[in-house]
Chains A and B, each alone.
Chain A
Amino acid sequence: MNIVEMRGITKRFGTLVANDKVDIDLGRGEIHALLGENGAGKSTLMKILYGLYQPDEVTITIEGRTQPIRSPAEAIERGVGFVSQHFSLVPTFTVAENILLGYEQQFRLDPAQMHTRVAQLATDNGFNIDPSAIVGKLSVGQQQRVEILKAIFRDCRVLILDEPTAVLTPRDTQSLFEILLKLCAQGLAVIIITHKLEEALQHSQRVTVLRHGKVVGSQETSSTTSAELARLMVGRQTTPVQRPANANASEPVVLEVSGLSVADKRGVHALNAVNFQVRAGEIVGIAGVAGNGQSELVSVLTGMLQPQRGAMRVDGQAVAFGDPRACTRHKIGRIPEDRLRGVIGDLSVADNLMIEQLDQFTIVGHLQPHAILEHAQRLINDFQIKAAPNDPVRTLSGGNIQKVILARTLAQDPAVVIAAQPTRGVDIGATEYVHQKLLEQKQRGAAILLISEDLDEILLLSDRILVMYNGRLVGEFDAAAVDLDRLSLLMTGAEKTG
């Protein structure tokens, strides 16, 4: 018998139909993968199941009981747990406080007892977590485990995970699925939204694909292939990009970074004497497990962080640190790690597209609306952004926000492109598109630094691969001849070579 049956779910936002008569079933103890392009309506459907959105038409049956879900509290009461991409944790609270919040039992709190209670819960379910740790100081993977534990504590029988692996390191991803497997064996049903087809194929029993708010396929995972799923999602055959021939070693060096060091207040090095060069027409990939200094490297290179030591040159000219405007002057294009920080959500698509070149769109301080609109329309066409120039950027789906950033950055013909996690949370179609655009820039002669936790992406695009571990560059590979075993060892710090 199915634990959840959703029938005829329809949800409109204004004229947009985000879910169109969606039917979906979830069996007890199964992992059900929900796939679809950016904006296909996956998150919307799950938010309806969790009572965050009220659908226009609906029948939701959970454990045989058919009744609408009007609020998250009702959803929890009926055994539904939801872990969204933006965790709903209180960062200043401890793990125990976060888990017990709202279920404290007593007016007087006894921290020691709270800790033992949560520690017990954690060991019972095979979690390794310190109940007294402050949540804001935990890694993303650990915070996610706190969220899952929170749901289990609330006696959740249906667990929804919205893109849980988008921000996880490969190792955390693996332990997440180990945990889920164990929980499913005890009867938990899981719905997992993901853009990574391999994950869906490997770990789920059923897959459902949404396109433009409609279910376009729902079947046993064992009876499908990644090519079929991709075709269902995008509505056409997909082909990964082909890497062109390696860059010519005689091209001039465009980006040169030397002796870069960043230390925090306690003197711990986030970056330690980092040196590298990127030539014109070359893509250099920085591989590494998250949290080994990649974020700091990106912050320094994009002018957001002042390093203690080091120098950076573009075309031989020194670039001042800690000054984002210097990036614009030296034609350094930036694709930031967190795309929501790269745009101003309340401003329109058109405004976001021109904001780095305000000078060109103003005459003595006056905005030129016609020029701005024209510019926006051109980029929206060129980059196939699914939005109107006047839409506020925050209403766009993840993939389209990424396209806005890409369009803004690449339209300026940058000499250097710093691309940090350019396809995180982006669907296959858009990922392919981003890759294609980066390769076009390479052909044009830009020097590209690609920082990504997705090793496949690094392998696919890079000419040269540098491995980052513990703030240092610990290895270099020619992409044409990568020793994958050695690469993984270097990434985990197991092999220490220079």
Chain B
Amino acid sequence: MEFLLTLLGATLRIATPILYGALGEMIVERAGILNLGIEGTMLLSAFGGFVAAQLSGSIYLGLLIAVAIGVLLSLLMGFLSITLGLNQHVSGLGITLFASGLALFLFRIIYGGESIPPALEESFPQLRIFGGTSLEPVFSQYVFTYAAFLLVPLLAWLLYRTSFGLRLRSVGENPEAADTAGISVFRTRYVALLMGGALMGLGGAFLSLAQLGAFTHGIINGRGWVAIAIVIFGNWRPWRVLAGALLFGGLQALQLRLQAEGVQLPYEIFLMLPYVMTIVAIAITGRNASYPAALLKPYRREG
């Protein structure tokens, strides 16, 4: 029992940054834009937030900077893919390369060649809710985690129960129809991108300012790409995206646990497990995926 509760606690923790990334990506894709800049955005946010927190001594300022970086990189994505109407794959990958390179470059400048990764003196603490009870291992989480789980119903409400959500989805499904309904495709897509960027920034900040309280280059380690896969797995629906993030988190927690238990297998097998399972899950569910119809299509009025 205790084993399971600890495992669940680890699952929630591991799922958190993925969930931020996936929810952010989901919103953006629902408006018709694939943001492949997510991996680089999360990395630069993690880095920028960390540096700001270290220099200023305030983790809150760090958080703000991380979110701001997410928003700024999304603005750049918007400029390339919406304003200029460039190919979204190229724009997104370009942003990931740019942001990753910039993080590495600035790291070298600020920290030189230190071999021990720099760490924060003070990072976000864990919030124990059921302290002392047997549920404690599950509910000893960072505030980020609780917030991420609250975001799911909030986004579901926003997407399906508000005029904003209706407009956002219409822009991703049939921008022409939205345009003739007097909805600005341009503005709606920008808003979606910025919201998504803020969430990606939060995902990065969670890693460097809370969970690790430190920064390394491998801090994101493909989580952005996994988030994109989970959006497909989740069929662009908040609750199913949550399920996907939990599935991935659970497998990751399990493999860590099995490694720690000393099961006699090459450790690479364990590392592979969550990714292999993600591919399998997508292969199964992806066949019925209902992509936003206008995904990847820049919108231009004809004539």
Contacts and interface: CB of A to CB of B under 8 A. Distances in A.
Contacts of A89: 174, 177
Secondary structure of the B side of the interface?
A: helix
A97 B182 CA distance: 14
Contacts of A92: 169, 173, 290, 293
A104 interface: yes
Nearest to B160: A109
B170 interface: yes
B182 A73 contact: yes
Interface string A98-118: 100111111111000000000
B163 A104 contact: yes
Top 8 A-B residue pairs of the complex, sorted by shortest distance between their CB atoms: A102-B181, A53-B303, A104-B163, A88-B177, A72-B180, A73-B182, A90-B173, A101-B181
Interface string A246-276: 0000000000000000000000000000000
A118 to B, nearest CB: 14
A107 B165 CA distance: 9
Contacts of B303: 47, 52-54
A103 B162 contact: no
A361 interface: no
Nearest to B174: A90
Nearest to B302: A52
Interface of B: 160-167, 169-170, 173-174, 176-183, 290, 293, 301-303
A97 B161 contact: no
Given A101-B167, A101-B177, A104-B166, 17 more contacts: A47-B303, A53-B303, A72-B179, A73-B180, A82-B180, A88-B174, A88-B180, A90-B174, A90-B178, A92-B290, A98-B177, A101-B181, A102-B183, A107-B164, A109-B160, A109-B162, A109-B165
B226 to A, nearest CB: 26
Interface in A42-86: 47, 52-54, 71-73, 76, 82
A101 B162 contact: no
Interface of A: 47, 52-54, 71-73, 76, 82, 88-93, 97-98, 101-109
Nearest to A109: B161
A103 B181 contact: yes
A59 B127 CA distance: 68
A73 B178 CA distance: 10
A86 to B, nearest CB: 9
A93 B167 CA distance: 11
29 contacts: A47-B303, A52-B301, A52-B302, A54-B303, A72-B179, A73-B180, A88-B180, A90-B169, A90-B170, A90-B178, A91-B174, A91-B293, A92-B169, A92-B290, A92-B293, A93-B169, A93-B170, A93-B173, A101-B167, A101-B170, A101-B177, A101-B178, A101-B181, A101-B183, A102-B181, A102-B183, A105-B163, A107-B163, A109-B166
A108 B162 contact: yes
Interface-central residue, A52, A98, A102, A106, by most chain B CB under 10 Å? A102
Given A72-B180, A102-B182, A91 B173 contact: yes
Contacts of A73: 179-180, 182
A101 B301 contact: no
Nearest to B301: A52
B276 to A, nearest CB: 30
A101 B166 contact: yes
B180 A109 contact: no
Contacts of A71: 301
